[in-house]
Amino acid sequence: MKKQDFVFLFVAVMLFLPFFVSNDLYDGYKSFNASHGMVMSFLKFGILATLGEMLGLRISSGVYNRKGFGVLPRMVVWGILGMAINMAMIVFSKGMPIFLEYMGMADASSIINGEMCLNKVIIALCISVMMNSFFAPVFMTFHKITDTHIMACGGGLKSLITPIPMTKIITGLNWNVQWNFVFKKTIPLFWYPAHTITFLLPVETRVLFAALLGVALGVLLAVAARKK
């Protein structure tokens, strides 16, 4: 391990350590999270997913940051995307059980928030499949567009206020990697089961777990972006 690895590990540990050593801090976090869920979604994804992308860069290029990478604008974009993920989780976790009840599964809305059972696993899987089949491809593509835009702007904060040339970026994307790796492999093989677990958790912990998965998402997308 190099010095930069120890620094990265130290920062990661310091982010979580206070919650394990202070009950007051943890209680304060839970209270603020319950009252300001979207704000916390911004912070969680802004920090964790960006760290995931930095880790992906370290794996693929040997460094955690480099010219044009744009840590700060990436954090802002991830924060906004994190709020969108929180919204999607609410919409699909509420809507899918209602649809299952419409299709004949009695009390699906109660089961998903109740004790562990086979029907709860089935409902969680259905929520995950629907969310990742319809929301995730659009989300991942938009993230790839913003990622490309940030790098094209040299990684500066001006990328946040510079209009995105959508047509140019979309037509220039590596759709072979986007389809054959990001969509065909990561969604069914990783995100379906990962978010099934997410929706089996208590409501108040789902977004935090999803934010932790955001680290994995950052790694996967960063590695995918550099695949030849």
Tens digits of residue pLDDT in 176-226: 989 998 899 889 999 999 999 999 998 878 888 887 887 776 676 666 656
Which pTM value belongs to this model? 0.88
The predicted pLDDT at position 28 comes to 85
What pLDDT, on the 0 to 100 scale, is given for residue 5? 86
CA atoms within 13 A on the CB side of 51: 20
Kindly give, in sequence order, each residue whose CB lies less than 8 Å from that of residue 32, ignoring residues fewer than 6 positions away. Answer: 39, 40
Distance CA 179, CA 110 (A): 36
Q: What is the pLDDT of residue 93?
A: 96
pLDDT at 22: 81
pLDDT of residue 222: 62
pLDDT of residue 211: 79
In the chain, what is the straight-line distance between the N-terminal and C-terminal CA atoms, in Å? 26
Using alpha carbons, list the distances in angstroms from residue 94 to 32, 91, 101. 22, 5, 11
Q: Which residues contact 195 (CB under 8 A, 6 or more apart)?
A: 127, 128, 131, 132, 210, 213
Q: Which two tokens stand for residue 12?
A: 């990661």
Question: Tokens standing for 113?
Answer: 């928030």
Q: pLDDT tens string for the chain (228 positions)?
A: 788 888 888 888 888 787 778 888 888 888 888 889 899 999 989 998 888 888 888 877 888 998 899 999 999 999 999 999 999 999 999 999 999 999 999 999 999 999 999 999 999 999 999 999 999 999 999 999 999 999 999 999 999 999 999 999 999 999 998 999 889 988 999 999 999 999 999 887 888 888 788 777 667 666 665 655
Helix spans in 22-36 (H) = 23-35
Residue 70: phi and psi, rounded to 5, are 75, 65
Q: How far is CA 209 from CA 78, 104, 200, in A?
A: 16, 30, 11
The span from the CA of 184 to the CA of 191, in Å, is: 11
Query: What pLDDT was estimated at residue 183?
Result: 93
* The token pair that represents 62 in the structure block: 């040997």
**Cα separation, 23 vs 3, whole angstroms:** 32
Contact between residue 78 and residue 214 where contact means Cβ atoms under 8 Å apart: yes
